[in-house]
Amino acid sequence: MNSQVYQTVIIGGGFTGLFTALHLAHEHYPRSVILIDKDERFCFKPLLYEYFDGEMDSFQVVPRFSELLKGSGVIFVQDTVQSIDLHQKEVKLASGNSYNYSNLVLALGSVTGYHQVEGARENAFPFWTQADAIALDHHLRDCLQKAIQTEDVEQRRKLLTVVIVGGGASGVEMAATLGDLLPHWYSALGGNSSEIRVVLLNHGQKILDGDINDPLRPIAEKELQKRTIPIEILTGAEATAIHPNTIEYKSNNQVNTLSTYTTIWTAGTSTHPLIQDLPIPKEHRDHHNRPLVTPTMQLLDFPEVFAGGDCAAVQDSSLPPTAQVAYQQGANIAQNLKAIALGEELKPVKVSIRGTLLKLGLNDAAANLFNVFEVAGESGHLIRQGTYLTLLPTPIHDFKATTEWVDEEIFHHHLDPHNVGKKVVQAVEVVGAGVVGVLVARKLLKMLGDEEKSK
Ligand SMILES: Cc1cc2nc3c(=O)[nH]c(=O)nc-3n(C[C@H](O)[C@H](O)[C@H](O)COP(=O)(O)OP(=O)(O)OC[C@H]3O[C@@H](n4cnc5c(N)ncnc54)[C@H](O)[C@@H]3O)c2cc1C
């Protein structure tokens, strides 16, 4: 391909890459855009638990790129990037194809980090993609099925014990989800759900320590105990080895073991190998080995290359690796790509952190809004899903998912004016810059108004 052709290549179609592409399409970007992802579907990771537990459908959480990009003019290529040559301005793919670019967007996200714990990569379940969610679902259902059939008490205990390694947001959300879901699944098979154990193993003394969700710890600790099966939290416990049917951990300088066929790994992320391999000097990387970018999101040594989301770090700024940062950076990268094409000045990226949202079981969540107030329980769940639904990509997708969810989940299921206080109305108004927030707030206000009138 002729490198003189003005062509923008985006590698990785996650929050950064997909939102860059959608914004470019929306802004009628005058150059051709190619989006490359190894998967056929975009994964809305914060809602992966809802996909896993059946609260939401695949068209909402893992829609196809071809559907999301229909009519946008963006060319989608499903292929795995194998190498990036920043000097030759070329990206090579597993299929043998290669693309030259005039501008490149690095949006490869991060990968699960196993911290060299023995057997973790081989024997623990990651929870990162749609494929991970499906694999875990099949495994757990298989364990429950076997548990129902066995007479061997020891064997049944192993089959019904799940250990989650990592007390960060992902581990807490996973533990809470399983604390409600597994008893439900097991009872449906005719099993005694009180035999299920869900153990959350955390290296540090506190869960959510140093996490953006830190302020929600007291709520999370309380809600974890309120699940159908209360979660056993082991703090100060460092996982040291994972085998197919046991996990070893160190606590108070003693090595302990727990018998289980299911260890779920949520204990860390690592910089994407392709990003580690880039010819970028150490002094232009952060302590996670991610390349530093300028406030306009460009690599320091290759200004034609933009990078955002989990795979880059903005100079002199510390932003958490989250979806809300990634999609805002994607929008700004698009603005700056357009500025280059039109010969205009590039603008620094402004990212605003609106708050944090934590799933804490079926129909339960906690929201920390602007560090001003916190909402928990079913109201938190309503805010969390409503907020994420406003972010689902493309107006068509947004509309379809939003209307179905608003109709089924809010208006028919959750919305009882006697259960929903003014705090939720306030919260939804604050968060709800988008469709659902406004809809819900209006509906709530109307219902509360109707209620006032009828008094
Ligand atoms: C289970 C889970 C729950 C989360 N919950 C929240 C939450 O509640 N709130 C929040 O703000 N954040 C949450 N996060 C974090 C958030 O999802 C990430 O910060 C965000 O996805 C980062 O966006 P990104 O664009 O950098 O990377 P990603 O969204 O991970 O996208 C990277 C893309 O690159 C593609 N890719 C990777 N390697 C290759 C290759 N070699 N070739 C081609 N394509 C490739 C991948 O398929 C993927 O589509 C969660 C993450 C997980 C895993």
13 CA closest ligand 1 atom index? 49
**Do 184 and 231 belong together in one domain?**
yes
pLDDT of residue 413: 39
Q: Is residue 438 part of a domain?
A: yes
Write down the pLDDT at residue 216: 85
Q: Lowest mean pLDDT of 10-24, 372-386, 402-416, name the range.
A: 402-416
Quote the pLDDT of residue 370.
Answer: 59
- Are residues 433 and 404 part of one domain? yes
Q: How distant is the alpha carbon of residue 389 from its chain centre?
A: 13
Q: Is the pLDDT of residue 263 over 70?
A: yes
Residue 40: band (very low, low, confident or very high) from pLDDT cuts 50, 70, 90:
very high
Domain containing 307 — which CATH number?
3.50.50.60
pLDDT band for position 310 (cuts 50, 70, 90): very high
Residues 40 and 98 in one domain: yes
* pLDDT over 60 at 153, yes or no: yes
Given a cut of 80, whether residue 420 has pLDDT beyond it is no
Of 184-188, 212-216, 219-223, 422-426, the range with the lowest mean pLDDT is 422-426
Percent of the chain residues past pLDDT 90, beyond the cut: 65
Residue of 230, 225, 167 whose CA lies nearest to 197: 230
Tell me if 46 CB under 6 Å of ligand 1. yes
Distance 42 CA to ligand 1 centre (A): 9
Of all protein residues, whose CA lies closest to atom 35 belonging to ligand 1?
Answer: 12
Instruction: Decide whether any atom of ligand 1 lies within 6 Å of the 320 Cβ.
Output: no
Q: What's the pLDDT score for residue 363?
A: 80
Number of domains in the chain: 3
Q: Which of residues 338 and 439 earns the better pLDDT score? A: 338
Q: What is the pLDDT of residue 115?
A: 87
**Residue 239: which CATH number?**
3.50.50.100
Mean pLDDT of 178-190: 96
How many angstroms is it from 57 CA to the middle of ligand 1?
A: 19
Q: Is residue 348 part of a domain?
A: no
Q: By three-state DSSP, how is residue 359 classified? A: strand
Is residue 11 domain-shared with residue 74, that is, in the same domain? yes
Among the candidates 267, 283, 310, a domain finishes at 267
* pLDDT, mean of residues 432-450: 41
Residue 62 has pLDDT above 80, yes or no: yes
- With respect to residue 349, please indicate whether it lies within any of the assigned structural domains: no
Q: Looking at the predicted structure, is the pLDDT value of residue 285 above 70? A: yes
Q: 43 C-alpha vs ligand 1 centroid, how far in Å?
A: 7
Ligand 1 contact via 48 beta carbon (within 6 Å): yes
Q: How would residue 353 be classed by pLDDT, with cut points 50, 70 and 90?
A: confident
Determine whether the shortest distance from the Cβ of 168 to ligand 1 is under 6 A.
no
Average pLDDT for residues 427-435, to the nearest whole number? 37
pLDDT over 70, % of the chain: 83
Do 220 and 134 share a structural domain? Answer: yes
- Of the pLDDT bands very low, low, confident and very high (cuts 50, 70, 90), residue 418 is very low
Q: What is the mean pLDDT of residues 206-230?
A: 90
Domain assignment of residue 394, given as a range: 356-454
Which numbered atom of ligand 1 lies nearest the CA of 79?
Answer: 43
DSSP-assigned states of every residue in 224-246? HHTSSSPPEEE-S-EEEEEETTE
Question: Cβ(44) to ligand 1 under 6 A?
Answer: no
> Tokens 């939720």, residue?
424
Q: Does 258 share its domain with 284? A: no
Q: How confident is the model at residue 308 (pLDDT cuts 50, 70, 90)?
A: very high
Position 351 in a domain: no
Per-residue confidence (pLDDT) for residue 394, from 0 to 100: 55
For 106-133, the pLDDT digits (tens) are 999 999 999 899 999 999 999 999 999 9
124 and 242 both lie in a single domain: yes
- Residue 48 shares a structural domain with residue 84: yes
pLDDT bucket at 371, cuts 50 / 70 / 90: low
338/234 same-domain check: no
Final residue before a domain boundary, out of 342, 364, 392: 342
Query: 398: pLDDT confidence band, cut at 50, 70 and 90?
Result: low
Out of 267, 294, 316, a domain closes at 267
pTM of the model: 0.86
CA gap 289, 285 in Å, rounded: 5
Task: Tell me, yes or no, whether 25 and 106 share the same domain.
Answer: yes
Q: Do 240 and 314 reside in the same domain of the chain?
A: no
- 437 pLDDT tier (thresholds 50, 70, 90): very low
Point out the ligand 1 atom lying closest to the alpha carbon of residue 322. 19
Same-domain status, 16 and 98:
yes
- Residue 297: C-alpha distances to residues 284, 293, 330, 336, 341 (Å): 13, 5, 9, 9, 16
- Whether residue 68 has pLDDT greater than 60: yes
The residue among 300, 294, 302, 301 whose CA lies nearest residue 333 is 294
- The dihedral built from the CA positions of residue 34, 36, 39 and 42, taken in this order, carries a sign that is negative
Q: What pLDDT, in 10s, does the model give residues 164-176? A: 999 999 999 999 9
**382: closest CA among 325, 424, 416?**
424
